[in-house]
Structure 1
């Protein structure tokens, strides 16, 4: 199984495609005006406190105030607020988190009015990007993600990813991190830390502490709405999360960005620096790797499957609905139950890819083809969970209901990706208007001449809109009669009201359609 990262750099940002065995499984668009990315830390101002919601609305520079709930303040919000005051306006702040005296934790069931007040400045982190009409979602439980660990200031706990199941390895990692982490810093150990030695973990920890201290240094001169610590670009953050032993190549069409990525990989995984390549081909990079074609085929409302079945994907404000249809697959097998099972299994694989590809979040309802066999239902449920395992977003999959519906919830932290796959109509060029219908007569006569003189057909029938039919046949000396004198062959003209004014067909003597280029 090969993994490739293809990066197309543009003036306004860039496009990032993750390919697995040449198939597109993840796609990201970066824009130069993306100022509110998950992970960014801002100095915000509390604009409004809503006791009924036990929440506050915070101004971080977005057109709508961001939302901060009491439960997202974190237990050590008082320590964070005190720390901010100690650094604001100080030219040479020398208070570090590990030397800082922590304040008492807040009550989990407390009120936000006891902690925050209007116009107060607080340090907040974006945990959900602006989606639809909603502003960003914030948290005061700050965290900085690295390659192997996540650093949590103003915490003392050390926790390990649940995906590391070996109890001895979990104990080893906790023991190592506890011995090297600074005071008043918590650490979450990521899955990729499994089997890593203390030197690699310590290097990652040191870089994150340095990043935190650099951001804290900005507090002395920072103004409201300023970004104190920015999350790295999506290309680097994607590398940080997916770079592993099976990653084969990273191909970039911009020399400067390729060098930047090389430097980043040199820091986090020096042995993989050689997989970064600068693309210099003549055709565009996304065309060369077949990505443009996959984008057109995969982002439409209808997604075709290899067997002839297809998915119909609909989006609403509250949820996403996916309908599985057997298409022409239904006629290829005699057993209806087997057909339904095979189509559903194939659809499940594609649905797992579509959720990740489009970054669909919230509630997803899938209408699979009805199956009666309970074992088939169980196998389908297990298959969906298996296919979703590689998804980096948090998700929950529920078994099929008695109506054949499956419900999935998937973490939603940024707007769903939507690629426009519709193209301009070649007839009207997107204007909704066509050329003068009278010109269709010239086209018909030109093609008729070709059929009669070059292909030497006889017994021709022309099928047209009723208006065009009248144009060719009415009158004492009609155009059809003129054709007879010219070609010495009688042309039948039939009218079909289902055709558009500019549509027409030719049939031969055997009632077969004649294809004319």
Structure 2
């Protein structure tokens, strides 16, 4: 199975696509300056303590105050409070904990009023991004994630991922980490640390300790709402969590992002540096790898299955509902049970992909096609559980009920990815009335004349929908050829399936869009 990461630069960030065997399984749209990412640590101010909820509302700079429950304070909250006061009073230099004496753990059945008071300053970590009408969810149990390890300040515990099953390997890793970890730091050993050398683990640990110390240096003079430690950007965090032996290529279409990715991979996995490649093709990178088409087909309300069935995906405030339909598949199989099993098996795989792709979280209810055979129901349950294994988000899958419904819960830490796949006509803006489409060629030519003759543009590029591209380029004497004879300049054309059918834009030789005056 091949894994490829495709990174496309945009004006305000980048778009990231993860492909498995050329099929899109994850899509992220990262914008520069995005705040409140999971893992970020802020200096928050307590705005309100609510005894009835046993929780507090914290100001971290978002429109709505963030939520902090007593159980999310963490056992070492007293140590965090004491350390914060000492750092801000400049009685501790940097973030070193070797000479720090921790406080006793707080009572896990205690009350929030015993620990927090209004206007108190506390470091908090984002564990859930703002979703819908809710502000961020916070924790005071701070942790820093690395490639192989997770660093937990104020704890001394070392634990190993349950997915590492070999008892010998678990003992080896425990022994190694206990010998190299600094005092008053706990460590969680991630699954990818299995069979890794001590040098790699030590490098990862030192990197996180450095990040912690730099953050604590900022804490000394930090203002309320200020970010103390920032999580990696989406590209780097994806690479950190997913880069393994099965990764074949990382294609990037921007020189700066290419250099950043290469530098980061050199830090975490020098042997994989050669898989990073700068894309210089003529077509857009998402066009070249067929991603634009996959995005349009995958994010609609109706999702087609290859063998003939289809899914209907509906979203509500409380839950997501997915309906499985056989479509024209029912005409091909021997009987109804065989049809239902065949469609449900394919649907289960596609649903698991859709949950990752759209980052759907909370409660998901799937209405599979009814099956009578209990063994078939067990098979669908097994397929769904197996398909969800690759998902980084925590999830729970329940067996099919007697009504043929499957209930799934999936961890929701950030807003759901939502991409509009129904295009609003760029000419009528959804009113249903447009200028005669035959006139679009006249309008384009009018703009070409203005740009070539009056503005004297060099190396003009026209980006447009494939249908328009075909209209202007087909034929012995095409429209483009006619323009060449008329204006004595060649207009380069490129297809762009992300555009609506009558949409177009002009680019200059630097690839920047030329703003047209109406």
TM-score band, normalised by shorter chain: 0.7 to 0.9
Closer, same or farther in 2 for the Cα pair 1:140/1:436, shift >3 Å? Answer: closer
**Pairing 1:60–2:60 present:** yes
Count of residue correspondences: 437
- Show CA shifts across 1:201-241 (max 9, x none): 11110110011000000111100000000001000000000
For 2:169 and 2:291, locate their aligned partners in 1 and report how far apart those are by CA, in whole Å. Answer: 40
Closer, same or farther in 2 for the Cα pair 1:436/1:30, shift >3 Å? Answer: closer
* Alignment-derived partner of residue 115 in structure 1: 115
* Alignment-derived partner of residue 243 in structure 1: 243
| 3-state DSSP of counterpart to 1:389 | helix
Contact in 2 for aligned 1:86/1:93 (Cα 8 Å): no
Shift of 1:436: 9.1
What's the TM-score once normalised by structure 2's chain length? Answer: 0.83
| 3-state DSSP of counterpart to 2:57 | strand
Contact in 2 for aligned 1:43/1:124 (Cα 8 Å): yes
* Alignment-derived partner of residue 464 in structure 2: none
* Alignment-derived partner of residue 291 in structure 1: 291
| 3-state DSSP of counterpart to 2:293 | helix
For 1:309 and 1:128, locate their aligned partners in 2 and report how far apart those are by CA, in whole Å. Answer: 35
For 1:155 and 1:305, locate their aligned partners in 2 and report how far apart those are by CA, in whole Å. Answer: 49
* Alignment-derived partner of residue 465 in structure 1: none
Contact in 2 for aligned 1:312/1:324 (Cα 8 Å): yes
| 3-state DSSP of counterpart to 1:236 | helix
For 1:262 and 1:115, locate their aligned partners in 2 and report how far apart those are by CA, in whole Å. Answer: 45
**Pairing 1:3–2:26 present:** no
* Alignment-derived partner of residue 489 in structure 2: none
* Alignment-derived partner of residue 433 in structure 2: 434
**Pairing 1:422–2:428 present:** no
What's the TM-score once normalised by structure 1's chain length? Answer: 0.83
Shift of 1:435: 5.3
For 1:399 and 1:435, locate their aligned partners in 2 and report how far apart those are by CA, in whole Å. Answer: 51
For 2:396 and 2:240, locate their aligned partners in 1 and report how far apart those are by CA, in whole Å. Answer: 24
**What value does the CA root-mean-square deviation take over the aligned residues?**
1.5
Closer, same or farther in 2 for the Cα pair 1:416/1:32, shift >3 Å? Answer: same
For 2:216 and 2:21, locate their aligned partners in 1 and report how far apart those are by CA, in whole Å. Answer: 43
Closer, same or farther in 2 for the Cα pair 1:95/1:206, shift >3 Å? Answer: closer
* Alignment-derived partner of residue 21 in structure 1: 21
For 1:325 and 1:113, locate their aligned partners in 2 and report how far apart those are by CA, in whole Å. Answer: 53
For 1:60 and 1:335, locate their aligned partners in 2 and report how far apart those are by CA, in whole Å. Answer: 59
* Alignment-derived partner of residue 125 in structure 1: 125
| 3-state DSSP of counterpart to 1:324 | strand
* Alignment-derived partner of residue 315 in structure 2: 315
| 3-state DSSP of counterpart to 1:340 | helix
Shift of 1:10: 1.2
For 1:151 and 1:83, locate their aligned partners in 2 and report how far apart those are by CA, in whole Å. Answer: 17
Shift of 1:425: 4.0
- Unpaired runs of 5+ residues, structure 1, are 440-517
For 1:436 and 1:312, locate their aligned partners in 2 and report how far apart those are by CA, in whole Å. Answer: 34
Give structure 1 regions of 4+ aligned residues with deviation exceeding 3 angstroms.
none
Shift of 1:166: 1.1
For 1:143 and 1:285, locate their aligned partners in 2 and report how far apart those are by CA, in whole Å. Answer: 36
* Alignment-derived partner of residue 260 in structure 2: 260
| 3-state DSSP of counterpart to 1:98 | coil
For 2:295 and 2:409, locate their aligned partners in 1 and report how far apart those are by CA, in whole Å. Answer: 24
Shift of 1:98: 2.1
For 2:280 and 2:273, locate their aligned partners in 1 and report how far apart those are by CA, in whole Å. Answer: 19
| Equivalent residues in 2 for 1:99-178, closer than 5 Å | 99-178=99-178
Shift of 1:129: 0.1
Contact in 2 for aligned 1:41/1:124 (Cα 8 Å): yes
For 2:62 and 2:423, locate their aligned partners in 1 and report how far apart those are by CA, in whole Å. Answer: 33
Shift of 1:342: 0.6
- Unpaired runs of 5+ residues, structure 2, are 439-518
For 1:93 and 1:286, locate their aligned partners in 2 and report how far apart those are by CA, in whole Å. Answer: 48
For 1:288 and 1:351, locate their aligned partners in 2 and report how far apart those are by CA, in whole Å. Answer: 26
For 2:88 and 2:434, locate their aligned partners in 1 and report how far apart those are by CA, in whole Å. Answer: 68
